[in-house]
A and B are shown apart, each in its own frame.
Chain A
Amino acid sequence: MPRPGFVLEVDERTPPLLVHEGESFRMQRFPVGTRVVYPPDSLPGIRDVPTAVRHALLNPVDMEPLTALLTPGMKLTIAVDDISIPLPPMVLPDIRQRILEQVIELAASKGVDDLEIIVATALHRRMTSAEIRRMVGERVFRSFWPKDLYNFDAEDPDALTHVGKTDEGEDVEISKRAAESDLVVYVNVNLVAMDGGHKSVAIGLASYKSLRHHHNVHTMLHSRSYMDPRPGKSAIADSATRMGRMLRDAGVKIFQIETTMNADTFPENLGFLNKREWEWSAFDQGLMMASKKANDMAPPRIRREFFRRIEAPYKLTGVNAGEVEAVHERTLTNLHRQQLVEVGGQSDVVIFGLPYIGPYNVNSIMNPILVHCLGLGYLFNMYRNKPLVKKGGVVIMYHPVPWEFHQIHHPSYIDFFEEVLRETTDPKTIETKFEERYAKDPWYTHLYRTSHAYHGVHPFYMWYWGAHGRDHAGDVILVGGEPKSVARLGYRTAGSLRDAIEMATDTVGPSPTMTYFHAPPIMIADVR
């Protein structure tokens, strides 16, 4: 039986603990009394994945079996999550490939000819053919790419349809192909609680016109947290639910498939990253020291390449199919089984080690805006009930925050950083003054549609994503961050944890209580 997550209180015997900091990590000794939140041990994976997938397809929740929904001459659309999840990319075969192959096989056996597969990128960058090939597998890729397997294009007016409005006046504009299909099968990889549910179609296949209703500052500030999709907890989840139900009522039939993974985030050669420090064997310790040394000595390019090649040996812990809400409920149960950790109360300071990867820099560069998003958007929001840090407390994060951008993937990020953040870091002002111009900038649109660039509005969403954390925290300090880029984000830099704690006392007073959130692997703090 895998052990649950737990909270360690640092004492004199506690060894230095591993902290991620971008494309590196460090061993950090924490002050006595610091609480350290560890994720639960990895759950055992399902041994026979093909059978589990087949079982899910043929025994769906609150819906007829997929075989009964497939009929000759029908129009079938399969949508799949893009490579922003899971993180890191999983060891092949990707779970999406395994599901797609079975769904396509069933469709073929039922005489379905009109089948298209859409990578549900929403406003993410178009995946490259190599990325899609890796994700869907050689067989599917060869059979469908590029005519019947393609990236969603949220800026192609001919490929969108305005289905209607929710009762709160939110526009629902999604892929025309999906909206006009007799059946949409959506294949999810549910890495965190926010993934899946009505978010899949209503967000993954939606346009800016639709997304702007929930990807905005107001919604973000009223989502406590994004990782808690219970009604009334997350405004973004509530909005997605309204849109999803509106689609259902408009006749868009969705067969939802959701999958959950265990916590095997790092491969064997970096196995120590999955373990608790005091349980490291001599081999693990040697491996850690060798990796650290080699990493520190390697030129930045080699280092980046090393990290880029990491593949997670995730194992499937659950696959469910059927009606969207019913499936998602099961998914959340599964996810919480793996990720939930009970934590007793908040602290004055919370500490995050930011890893090298987030959803928006797969095969790319983690630029300063993505650092903000990963820290204050994702890690900060990995809670239920209340944040790990008290209101007005201090968030300390580790990351070098280089002033560096991927020129192809993040062109509007560069301008956002240089133009918008130079003027203001206030999310509301940014939204009012700049969002529309960036969202409708023809050059960004051109690059989004024809190159591999994130949509012009995407950096805004990343900024909004951290709005709740920013609003909640009294101060944000980056340990080891490049002063110039950290200052542009509106945060402060510290050379060491000791300095950061010293600086934090300005805000929270002397002898603050502290919590180190020891992730990844991913977990959710259930703060009581």
Chain B
Amino acid sequence: MLRTCLALAVALASFTAHAQQPLKIGMVLTLSGQFADAGNQMLNGAKTYMKMHGDTVAGRKIEILTRDTGGVAPDVAKRLSQELIVRDGVDILAGYVLTPNAMAAGDVSAEAKKFMVVMNAATSVVITKSPYMIRTSVTLPQVMETFAHWAATKGGIKQVYTMVTDYGPGIDSEQAFQGAFKAAGGTVVGSVRFPVANPDFSAFVQRAKDVGPQAIFIFIPGGAQPAALGKAFAERGIDLHKTKVLGSGETTAEAALKSMGDNALGIITAWHYDYTSKNPLNVKFVKAYQGVANGRNPDFFSIGGYDGMHAIYEALKKTKGNTDAQALVNAAKGMKWESPRGPMMIDPETRDVVQNVYIRKVEKVNGELMNVPFDTIPMVKDPAGERRKQQK
């Protein structure tokens, strides 16, 4: 009896101690420079989750601290992550738009034993850098291999010409797409890589057009470039009925569609999220998001931030506010939920994101250009992660 009383008192004491102290989440983002928009959208996604679900979980108030790496800067990302832990006493690390930054911060998470939620950084191996890490965004092989397989089978495409940006994610996408496309019986008739800083795409598009392939696959990072590339396609007069254009979600992101206009009609993309989805959860999310982000619509960075916060909240509920990294990562493993993007899960073994890949086509709905999904490949695991598992 006495013992139960004591235990209760201790539990209560620790509970109140917890309740008094806010639980800090340190978000390391890119808020300036070339990737500033990605960081801002991700932050707004996380904020939207807190607005919709309250800022208290398991009796503890949640506080977000944001830091800016200013672009690709693993040394800075690592330092900021360290400082968030030693200086600001954060309990959880989150954010990470770019792969090199997430890789460097992974070391910090492993060493300091902190739960870390990667909300974008889409290179497959990132997840191996810390046993306390989960990812709530997407991996490149997850989308690209799935897309390539779909294109070669259901899509009825026999040959493809690939065009990617000449940097890590672009090359990964090129290899993932080409590999899976060939494995499914297709042929690659040519490929080209754009420089990272490339204001004018006309020559590359002309080259692709002169080859005259059945389909062109594109991977290009978000920002101003997709619009510039899309315009180059449009003005070259590439007939999208004859030459199919395939791309990742960035190719037909909202801003890109706006500036391409009707020329974008018919582009086929594979992606995990689009703000126009009619899913009631998404309709609610978009409305709340617009309130947070001054009327802007969410994109895939936003949904990564939103679902990242969801995973943190749910894990904390399971651990009753305990922020021990092992407890949190155990709670997150195998977690399943309905997200505005559709059903998703954290793989219990790889800690990576499992989700639907949607095949969409740009169409005009009520006078507005939209990515309209017409096929779904359900609950795709990261194929590169699966291969790593087999190698072990």
A in complex with B: no
Where the two chains meet, the residues of A that have a C-beta atom closer than 8 Å to any C-beta of B are none
